[in-house]
A and B are shown apart, each in its own frame.
Chain A
Amino acid sequence: MTLAEMQFVIPDLRPASAELFMLAMACGILLVDLFVKDKKRTLTFVLTQLALLGAAVITFMTSTGEIAYTFSNMYVDDLLGDLLKLLTYLTVIVVLFYSRGYVLDRPQMAKGEYYTLTLFATLGMMVMISANHFLTVYLGLELLSLSLYALVALNRDSVQATEAAMKYFVLGALASGLLLYGMSMIYGATGTLEITAVAERLYQGQANKSILVFGLVFLVAGIAFKLGVVPFHMWIPDVYHGAPTAITLLIASAPKLAAFAIVMRMLVNGLVVLAADWQMMLIILSVLSMAIGNLAAIAQTNLKRMLAYSAISHMGFMLLGLVTGVIGGDARFALNAYSSSMFYVITYVLTSAGTFGMILLLARAGFESDLLDDFKGLNKRSPWFAAMMMMMMFSMAGVPFFVGFFAKFSVLQAVVAAGYLWLAIAAVIFSLIGAFYYLRVVKLMYFDQPNDPSPIHAPFDVKLLMSANGLAVALLGIFPQALMSICAVALLRSL
């Protein structure tokens, strides 16, 4: 085809309408905020929530259940993407409600940019979730990361936050470099960056295997960095600890969904022919993460740091589902394995949001409430919130009949079905070790005397959301089937 024959066809914008709406709203709010005189930025807050709500409505209305490509096949709209996007909006909405009081108490953070950068980060996650091209995966990731770096550094007067932002930025840039290097190798071997086209060429078996595996190593390293699994986890504790808790909540929740999406797109959709290779790498990452995450969490006195190590171990556990999809070229168990992983990551985000939300709820101006000791005797100060926190901790530990138990159970049955009995035993042992530090929080709340016996004041909306969050953790544990089958259907219609 010569250049003269090239015709420009305006791409079909309908599948990407939620992204377009989000971009327009983010730019609009950026401008509107210039004229907001109100110190509390109520208008910016309301507009941001409306933007997220509007995007949710658009995603829901335009969801057809069919796989649609647009922008020269760089963008894919499918049920998996729609589901993950809806959950992302929901998480960000909840995160903004939880953070509202914390942000208002800190004048450095109560700026309009807090809201616009959060929206841009959400846009980055949406791009990642819908990426069908290595280039768009990378650009979405950078959009998300760049917004998060700035958000971590937003509280400029805090030395800890600045240090965390610097570490996050430098290590994140390194990880992006690794990811790009891997992508360039895969491009060299297959001659395309489009994920579906890469998969096709690999099926035909023309590509040079040694270059592919060489690139795959870098790709997996880059992904591992972003997921924060051992040995690429060093940034997680420092960033979770140093960042303002409102930003930690954002980093620890919704981006995990987007990271799961790019793992599915790149490894499962694109490089499934190399499954035997990347599954081996992920097994090593997963076992190391569960070991180091759970053991290091025991030694922490800071709750945010403890939850950071717990995040490392949870991401390791989540990877277990991904390594059991294809066994010896047989993909019979793939749907079961991947949907259990997806269920795991969704429920982790739910629980993690609630836990960090609780830290935010107890924090006040000049008091972070992020030490384990700050949770002493919470039952005496507020029995209801103590009960919510207890459910969250039980769920993370995997105590039966909370959602975390079912998530762990479904991943484990996928592992056993795939024949990796030793892996399942290792996972159970590390989870048992992990249960210790979750239950220690429960012990502190119920059996110790509070340092500060004053009762807890929280706005009505936060109380309501926190209760809904805690009850969801409990109810989804009793009736997990609905969410489980939604995950399975979304994956079935998208892979």
Chain B
Amino acid sequence: MEFKTFVFYFFAAIMVFAALRVITARNPVQAALFLVLTFVSASGIWMLLQAEFLAIALVLVYVGAVMVLFLFVVMMLDINLDRVREGFWSYLPLGAIVALLMVAEMGLVLGGNYFDLFENKVPQAAADATNVMSVARLMYTDYVYPVELASVILLVGIVAAVVLTMRDRRKTKAVDPATQVIVKAKDRMRVLQMPSEKQG
């Protein structure tokens, strides 16, 4: 067995194991961490295919940002797991039947040719360009229109998030410097004249 093949199977085995643990782990934090392991193994496989941009992007975006955010949410919300699990066994038979049916149907449609996956060789990367450079060139030349559209979608996302979450302007407790400067002692303090009380 070639060394590269060995590495592939190594990563693939970790990935399958971690993916299984994602759905079987009882603790959501553990599940999220196993998902991180799955992503890292997947990015390793992409490295083998010389798709270093995708590998790095996966680690940066999914592991670095999405999963960390996810962990925060899980920790903050303190979800009651027993309630989430409540319907699991009653839904399992129906869900399993539907899933098996779909797998069987897809298998029938596609037959035994497995999409000719092994006939299509991975294209060799051009010698003078890295992945990142090729992607960047394409993004800002041929694909400039979709990239701009994606940016508009993000803008809409921001606008929607703001408009849906911003309630009326909160009454802030911060001090306004201007009113502080012009304030006079007599606005703040009142000296009361009271007759002194006799002791005893």
Please list the residues of chain A having a beta carbon within 8 angstroms of any beta carbon in chain B. 2-4, 6, 8, 11, 23, 27, 30, 71-72, 74-75, 111, 113, 116-117, 120, 123, 127, 133, 135-136, 139-140, 142-143, 146-147, 149-150, 153-154, 156, 188, 208, 210-211, 213-214
Contacts and interface: CB of A to CB of B under 8 A. Distances in A.
B163 A208 contact: no
Contacts of A116: 159
A127 B153 CA distance: 12
Given A2-B126, A111-B163, A150-B164, A208 B149 contact: no
A44 to B, nearest CB: 13
7 contacts: A3-B129, A8-B140, A71-B145, A140-B149, A143-B152, A147-B156, A210-B111
B146 to A, nearest CB: 5
A135 B146 contact: yes
Given A6-B137, A72-B145, A211 B115 contact: yes
Nearest to A191: B120
B122 to A, nearest CB: 14
B136 to A, nearest CB: 10
Q: Give the one of B109, B110, B140, B159 with max A CB within 10 A.
A: B159
A127 B162 CA distance: 25
A216 B130 CA distance: 34
Contacts of B110: 210-211, 214
B142 interface: yes
Instruction: Determine chain B's interface SS by DSSP, over half rule.
Output: helix
Interface string B98-111: 00000000100111
Contact of A117 (B106, B115, B156): B156
Contacts, number: 90
Contact of B149 (A8, A143, A150): A143
Interface in B114-153: 115-116, 126, 128-129, 133-134, 137, 140-146, 149-150, 152-153
B145 A136 contact: yes
A153 B164 contact: yes
B118 to A, nearest CB: 14
Interface in B176-194: none
Contact of A188 (B115, B149, B159): B115
A154 B143 CA distance: 33
Interface in B146-173: 146, 149-150, 152-153, 155-157, 159-160, 162-164
B146 A120 contact: no
Contacts of B199: none
A27 B154 CA distance: 13
Nearest to A120: B156
Given A150-B156, A154-B163, A210-B111, A139 B149 contact: yes
